[in-house]
Amino acid sequence: MTDMARRNFLGLLGAAALTGGPVMMARELWQSSWRGYRHGFIDGQGRVIDYSANKGFSTSEGQSYGMFLSLVAGDRATFRRILNWTNTNMAGGRLGEVLAAWKWGLHGGKWGVIGANSAADADAWMAYSLLEAARIWKDHNLGAEGHKLATRIADDESVAINGFGRVLIPGASDFPDTPPVIVDPSYTPLFLARGIARATNLPKWQAIAATLPRLMTTICRNGFAPDWAWAPQAPASPPAGLPETGTGSFDAIRCYLWAGLTAPETEGSATVLASLKGMARYLATHRAPPQSVDLASQATHGTGGIGFSAALLPYLAALGRHRLLHQQLGRVLAQRETSGLFGQPADYYSENLILFGLGGLSGSIRFDKQGGLITS
């Protein structure tokens, strides 16, 4: 995120008639949104709850985002509660030796793990958050936990493709682990891979980071990111039971978000951003992003929610598309509630996209060129 883009956001907040100094306004908006999220979605034990299902369930994704966002907020108590709950309930007290189960909730009248496979994106966010928390809070134990988890991810959730590079696969089981493999490009932000590689010096993570720009150039079509794609190319007869490829929607929206949050000086950042210009092109003639897009035909369906608009804010700023940024920011701010949450009712996934999107614009979430979280 450039200083010019951040100044543009501060100006937009002023135009929205918020009071106080512009930097204070932007930071307080994010902190207020974080407090609303913490109150609305994180219980006293440290369980992040998605209320979209009856009685609510928890995912390793939610736990990992909660860890990262509490780190950004400087909220060590919440970070520790989330980590402890995740370790106890999703990893049997052995996080790092094993990967966290991806889903926990009520099934058959009992609370517990209901999806035992891992989710590589959540695992990576947890490892990154542990490693950065260790650096920022000077806690060696967190660093050791993060290194152990990063090693487990590299060993169990990544695959080397001859002549192409190393990619993260979606989970440790139930997905092909020999090429060609199916990937979700939103699972591996460039800054995240660079940050883990820097903190651990693990060759496999260095290879994952180096491969990402090539992966995005290969699987994006017409400037749009897919939810799922084959790498390096689709097999003649794809196995049954795997996600459909060729469409970009709820997962792919994060690709634009991560590209916008990546420091422009990061190696490969410009290549990733250049592979994603289709969404900005679409917004030049539409007031809101689509809910889904067919990458080959560019046919779109539905209208994305405010979380989609928020996810695109850092991306549009990085591209210098300030008119489009103003339009999407206005759509988000129009649905802000006094609780600090957005929309009625507030939605877990949208709230996370909003916290990341507004965090990037306000400067609350920033990364250096090596993927380190900037806290000053």
Q: Which of 365, 288, 271 is nearest to 327 (CA)?
A: 288
If 0-12 CB within 10 Å is exposed, 13-18 middle and 19+ buried, where does residue 182 land?
A: buried
Could you tell me which of 309, 290, 288, 308 has the C-alpha nearest to residue 300? 290
**Burial state string for 71-96 with b = 16 or more CB within 10 A and e = fewer than 16:** bbbebeebbbbbbebbbebbbeeebb
Residue with tokens 């009248």: 109
Q: How many angstroms separate the CA atoms of 335 and 376, rounded?
A: 29
E-state strands within the chain: 58-59, 103-107, 110-115, 158-161, 165-168, 181-183, 229-231, 247-248, 290-294, 300-303
What tokens were used for 322? 């300030």
Residue 267 CB partners (closer than 8 Å, separation 6+): 194, 369
Q: How many residues does the chain have?
A: 376
Among all residues, which ones are annotated catalytic?
A: 61, 121
CA separation, residue 335 to residues 9, 302, 340, 363 (Å)? 17, 19, 10, 21
Structural tokens at position 341: 């949450």
If one counts every other C-beta atom within 10 angstroms of the C-beta of residue 236, the result is 6
Residues 285-298 as b or e (16 or more Cβ within 10 Å = b): eeebbbbbbbbeee
CA-CA-CA-CA torsion sign (335, 341, 343, 347) = positive
Q: Give the integer Cα–Cα distance in Å for 372 and 198.
A: 8
Residues paired with residue 28 on neighbouring β-strands, in sequence order: none
Question: Do 233 and 180 contact (CB within 8 A), yes or no?
Answer: yes
